[in-house]
Structure 1
Amino acid sequence: MFFHEVQAGDSLFTISSRYGISIDEIRRVNGLVQSNIVPGQALLIPLYTYIVQPGDTFTAIARKSFLSLDQLTAANAAVNPAALQPGMRLTIPNISNYHASTLSFYVVRSPELDRALISDFAPYSTSISIFEYHIASNGDIANTLNDLTAIQTTWTYRVRPLVTVTNLTTKGFSPELVHQVLNNPAARTNLVNNISYLVTNRGYGGVNIDFERVMAEDRDLFTGFLRELRDRLQPLGRTLTIALPAKTNEEIPWLKGYDYGGIGSVVDFMFIMAYDWHHAGSEPGPVAPITEVIRTVEFAIQYVPRRKIIIGMPLYGYDWIIPYSPGRVAPAISNQAAIETAMRYQSPIQYSTEFESPFFHYKDQQGLTHEVWFEDVRSMGAKMLLIHEYGLDGLGAWQLTLGFTQGPWLITKFFTIIKV
């Protein structure tokens, strides 16, 4: 399996002819409704035989196949890399023997839609964290979800359903709410009891705690709360996981509430939200630059066992109006919608090799210029390689309803998924 970066003059017909694959298959794998592809667009080609093209080198073929030069060379020992000729056939070796877990988020919609999406994504899932239940200041669970179909469907396909418990309010994630609960022993105990009851009563396989913007002064109390919750859930055979912001050091003031080492010693897995370095309220830029993801991984493995770390990836980007104006909020855009936007406006897609991130510009009907950064097969593949290289537990995504047609194909290229 490899990607083809569209060049000027390419069409789906010429690409299909070049690699010996049908146009319909290219459309299906890449989620293409239209055929007006644009230069710079990355198309995933689901073949394990590569037909050498004019100008190809072993290095270039290895890069587009997400392989090291040694891996490609070993799989084609009879081929002299210095004597490549167009039309030669190379074997793309299978690297899917890495056993990995996935933990992705899913926002419930309706029983019919829940059943359909979960059953589609189940072959590529270890756990699905169903979003979301809210906490109250006294430790109560403040809402209910119509989640029984999602829970039952998830178990049916040997996937562990996790309940997501958050500090979300109508005004966003509330650090004050977490502070109130953690600093009130009765409320903290009540919350542990309520989460345990919620998990067992509704048939969840565990919980994912998504408390965001935890205060520095609550750092130890937060870890202690997780330990209490672990001690309650573990005898029940339930899993405790957590969603954590990405940290690259201990000096970032707004992240001091998260003790990676303490938390890592308590939970079964941690989902690191390795995204939003640029976000809706920031200036344009890569959402999940590989440079920062690597720094996050290298920080995390100092404190947390590698096989407890799941790297979260965004199934979205942002669409900024430029020039950037502070205070203007950029709408999020799914990766698939970003590609469709580039095709609709016939905007060439550029790719930052420094950040391993694609981006493009377009001008809308009102004459406003936009800058879009998102994720594609190249940037996702680069992050999946990190899981191999650092020996991490696996990957996950926010969130499955956004869709990313090429995603499951990439997962099967890189991993054998662990099932429950």
Structure 2
Amino acid sequence: MQIHVVQRGESLYAIGRTYGVSVEEVATANEISDPSRLVVGQALVIPVEGSFHIVQPRESLFSIARRYGTTIAALANANSLAATAILQIGQRLQIPQKTKPAIDTMLYVEPRTPVTEVMIEEVRDKTSGTYLTYLAMFSYQVLRNGSLQAPTIDNIPQIASSNGVANAMVVSNLENFRFEPTLANAILTDLAAQNQLFGNIIQVANDIGYKDIHFDFELLFPADRQLYNNFLSRARTRLHMAGLTVSTAVAPMPANVLTGIYGGHDYAAHGALMDFVALMTYEWGFTYSEPQAVSPIIPVRRVVEYATSVMPSNKVMLGQNLYGYDWSAPFPTQGGAPAKALSPQQAIALALRENVAIQYDYVAQAPFFTYYDAAGVYHEVWFEDARSIQAKFDLIKQFNLRGIMYWKLGLAFPQNWLLLKDNFTIRKR
């Protein structure tokens, strides 16, 4: 696969000719409904075997090899060139391919009542390909007596399992549509409720066919950190005896935070107790924040660096958003309206409609654009594209992580799935 960023004046025909593929192939890969209309700055994935580089002014085999982490000899050999060859501007070079690492992937699904046929079709699409290890059902809400409030799941688990995807049962402390620390505290301090909960989880898992129990307890009281560790230890014992794996989702911390809304999560303990841990490495930019990247690469890297310093890297899954936000002035921090979530495809369509170019922040490794709406209100949009997701894939490879966790199904981002398969072999459990 090749990532190509649309330049001013380029057409899909010219781009396809550069890489030797048809307009239809590029349009289909990127889900472009009108091939005659592109956005300047839009990142396209070109469906070609391998990866290529178009030579720019003043580039050499040495500089290109260093950029892609290969050698001059390997690059020259892949293109039948002498190691001392002088390159021509616009020349296309094939980049030597490395062995694909094997990873786990997890995709959260959050069904509504009733479950729509659109969601069912997307479940079929994502589970029938080689994209997923786990489909995570969000969520079974814990009640204060240890009972569970189940989501409406229709036949989603059966579709996943029939396609070789393991079902994960997400167990949360959601109450009245928010993560509730007092609910978690009530469970964490009541052994009888815990025993009831574990029994209920095992029963549901056996009835539905869940293979992993994924605890997503958020916004815990910092004082409940050890209580949560104790709870997870008991859960592991009971659930392992039932033949189930156990995992957790944890807040994105760059250090051992002991206070605030992240203080209840103990990375070292989770790494020791759980079969794997998913880092929620997103929401720096969020509904009520200033406009910014949702998962900027530098703070994401810091979380990964800390996580892998206190838990085995082969237990760590990077969390990744499949969405962005459209902020309008005045921003939420200035008393304005909350930002509106949108998928990467919706962001591109918005930029096309407003006739604005997409820019790229190379520090955050994230695309963005600005526009004024019909009422003259200023907007700033940050989202994900092929370049930003490739930066996360490179991080997974660099730290030898277990894999990636996505929030969530239903947000169109075709470039992600093409690049996922191009970068990795997806394990089945």
Q: What is the TM-score when the length of structure 1 is the normalising length?
A: 0.93
Quick check: 1:108–1:150 contact (8 Å CA) kept in 2? no
Corresponding residue for residue 108 of structure 1 = 111
Query: What is the CA-CA distance between 1:134 and the residue it aligns to?
Result: 0.9
Output the CA distance in 2 between the equivalents of 1:125 and 1:67.
30
Q: Compute the displacement of 1:205 (Å).
A: 1.1
Q: 1:3 to 1:186 in 2, by over 3 A?
A: same
2:297 aligned residue (290, 306, 309): 290
Which segments of 5 or more consecutive residues in structure 1 lack a partner in the other structure?
none
SS in 2 for 1:234: helix
Question: Which has the larger displacement, 125-134 or 316-325?
Answer: 316-325
Q: 1:237 to 1:73 in 2, by over 3 A?
A: farther
Q: Deviations over 1:227-265 (max 9, x none)?
A: 111111112221211111111112353211001111111
Give the corresponding residue for 1:57: 59
Q: Match for 1:377 among 370, 386, 389?
A: 386
**CA distance in structure 2 between the partners assigned to 1:104 and 1:253 by the alignment:** 28
My pick for the range that moved more, 162-171 or 355-364, is 162-171
Aligned pairs, how many?
A: 417
Relative distance call for 1:173 and 1:10 in structure 2 (3 A) is: same
| Contact 1:52/1:85 (<8 A) preserved | no
Match of 2:213, SS state, is strand
Change (3 A) 1:31 1:254: same
Shift of 1:45: 1.2
Show the 5 A alignment for 1:225-240: 225-240=231-246
Three-state SS of the structure 2 residue aligned to 1:302 is helix
Deviation at 1:62?
5.5
Counterpart of 1:7?
7
SS of match in other structure, 1:258: coil
* Alpha-carbon distance change, 303 to 54 in structure 1, aligned in 2, over 3 angstroms: closer
Q: Distance in 1 between matches of 2:389 and 2:205?
A: 32
| In structure 1, C-alpha distance between the alignment counterparts of 2:116 and 2:307, rounded to whole Å | 37
* Counterpart for residue 300 of structure 1: 307
CA separation in 1, counterparts of 2:179 and 2:63? 45
Amino acid aligned to 2:124: S
Normalised to the residue count of structure 2, the TM-score between the two structures is 0.91
The structure 2 residue matched to 1:92, chosen from 90, 95, 107, is: 95
Q: Which position in structure 1 is the counterpart of 2:413? A: 404
**Which residue of 1 is the match for residue 221 of structure 2?**
215
Q: 1:35-184 alignment to 2 at 5 Å?
A: 35=35, 36-47=37-48, 48=50, 50=52, 52=54, 55=57, 57=59, 68-70=68-70, 74-77=74-77, 78-79=80-81, 80=83, 83-86=86-89, 88-95=91-98, 97-108=100-111, 110=115, 112-122=117-127, 123-147=130-154, 149-184=155-190
Hey, what's the Cα distance between the residues in 2 that align with 1:59 and 1:108?
50
Alpha-carbon offset, residue 108 of structure 1? 2.7
The answer to whether structure 1 residue 264 and structure 2 residue 265 are counterparts is no
Name the CA distance, whole Å, in 2 between partners of 1:158 and 1:15: 37
Range that drifts further, 195-204 or 320-329: 320-329
Relative to structure 2, which stretch is displaced further, 50-59 or 186-195? Answer: 50-59
Change (3 A) 1:86 1:49: farther
Change (3 A) 1:76 1:247: same
Distance 1:342 1:358 in 2: 11
Closer, same or farther: CA 207–61 of 1 in aligned 2, 3 Å: farther
1:389 and 2:392 are equivalent in the alignment: no
* 2:354 equivalent to 1:345: yes
The sequence identity of aligned pairs, in percent, is 34
* 1:249-291 deviations in Å (ceiling 9; x for gaps): 1235321100111111111111111100121001111110000
2:344 is the alignment partner of 1:335 = yes
Q: Could you tell me how far apart the structure 2 residues matched to 1:117 and 1:406 are? A: 16
Which secondary structure does the structure 1 equivalent of 2:136 belong to?
A: strand
2:32 corresponding residue in structure 1:
32
How far, CA to CA, are the matches of 1:40 and 1:413 in structure 2? 22
Q: Secondary structure at the match of 1:248?
A: coil
Single out whichever of 236-245 and 297-306 deviates more from structure 2: 236-245
Please give the root-mean-square deviation of Cα atoms over the aligned residues, in Å: 2.3
Q: 2:416 & 2:240 partners in 1: Cα distance? A: 32
- SS of aligned partner of 2:410: helix
| Residue deviations 1:78-125 (CA, integer Å, cap 9, x gap) | 434761125644223333520111011012353744542223212111
Cα distance in 2 between the residues matched to 1:299 and 1:390: 11
| Structure 2 equivalent of residue 197 of structure 1 | 203
Equivalent pair of 1:173/1:211 in contact (CA under 8 Å): yes
1:71 to 1:360, Cα distance in 2 relative to 1, 3 A: farther
Alpha-carbon distance in 1 for matches of 2:299, 2:254: 8
Q: CA deviation at 1:145?
A: 2.3
The one-letter code of the counterpart of 1:106 is: V
Deviations 1:336-356, CA, capped at 9 Å, x for gaps? 111111111111111111110
CA distance in 1, matches of 2:279, 2:421: 22
- Distance in structure 2 (CA, Å) of the matches to 1:117 and 1:142: 25
Distance 1:51 1:392, change over 3 A: closer
Classify 1:60/1:172 alpha carbon distance in 2 versus 1 (closer, same or farther; 3 Å).
farther
CA contact (8 A) 2:323 2:342 kept: yes
Aligned 8 A contact 2:2 2:51 in 1:
no
Contact 2:280–2:318 at 8 Å: present in 1 too?
A: yes
Aligned residue for 1:401, secondary structure, equals coil
- Contact 1:96 1:413 survives alignment (8 Å): no
Residues 29 and 76 of structure 1, relative CA distance in 2, 3 Å threshold: farther
- Which residue type is aligned with residue 358 of structure 1? P
Whole-angstrom CA distance in 2 between matches of 1:62 and 1:176: 55
